[in-house]
């Protein structure tokens, strides 16, 4: 009886820490093939760029004009990648700041056919949604 209870507890505990496996080959919107390589729930490589999936922001790109920081996390059956854009130079006063992207949040899931479903939402500096896009990339 003790063995059975221990087995059940360990089974539920390991299931709660599992994440979706996104590893595979896909076709992008222009029918170009690409791969996702995944190391458990700790990291993944997408489009040749390695990412640690611990939710911590890291600088991904920096120029004289902008700095882009990214954080990735496996949440339930999603992979969430959040990009924050910091602009280093001020915008002209006539520029409508409500339409300037400040954050991109992308959720990756696997649909019922095994394809990669990608939902991207773009936010301004007031955390208001500017735009969103949903695409599906076919698994090869």
Instruction: Give pLDDT tens digits for 23-56.
Output: 999 999 999 999 999 999 999 999 888 999 999 9
Tell me the pLDDT band of 63, cut-offs 50, 70 and 90.
very high
Interstrand relation of 66-75 and 78-87 (parallel, antiparallel or unpaired):
antiparallel
pLDDT of residue 12: 45
In the chain, domain spans: 20-137
Percent of the chain with pLDDT over 90: 76
Tell me the pLDDT band of 1, cut-offs 50, 70 and 90.
low
| Rounded distance between C-alpha atoms, residue 3 and residue 77, angstroms | 30
Residue 17 confidence (pLDDT) above 80: no
| C-alpha distance from residue 48 to each of 38, 45, 52 (Å) | 12, 6, 13
pLDDT of residue 8: 41
Tell me the pLDDT band of 138, cut-offs 50, 70 and 90.
very high
More confident residue, 97 or 112: 112
Q: Which CATH number fits domain 20-137: 3.40.50, 3.30.160, 2.60.40, 2.40.128?
A: 2.40.128
What letter does residue 139 receive in the DSSP assignment? B
pLDDT of residue 67: 97
How many distinct helices (H) and strands (E) make up the chain?
A: 1, 10
């Amino acid at each position: 009886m003790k063995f059975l209870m221990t087995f059940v507890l360990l089974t539920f505990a390991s299931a709660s820490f599992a994440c979706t496996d996104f590893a595979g080959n896909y076709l992008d919107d222009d029918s170009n093939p690409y791969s996702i390589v995944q190391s458990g729930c700790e990291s993944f490589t997408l489009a040749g760029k390695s990412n640690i999936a611990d939710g911590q922001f890291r600088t991904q790109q920096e120029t004289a004009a902008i700095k882009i920081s990214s954080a990735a996390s496996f949440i339930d059956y999603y992979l969430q990648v959040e990009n924050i854009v910091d602009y280093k130079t001020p915008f002209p006063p006539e520029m409508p700041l409500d339409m300037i992207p400040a954050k991109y949040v992308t959720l990756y899931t696997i649909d019922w056919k095994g394809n990669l479903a990608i939902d991207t939402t773009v936010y301004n500096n007031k955390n208001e949604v500017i735009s969103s896009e949903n695409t599906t990339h076919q698994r090869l």
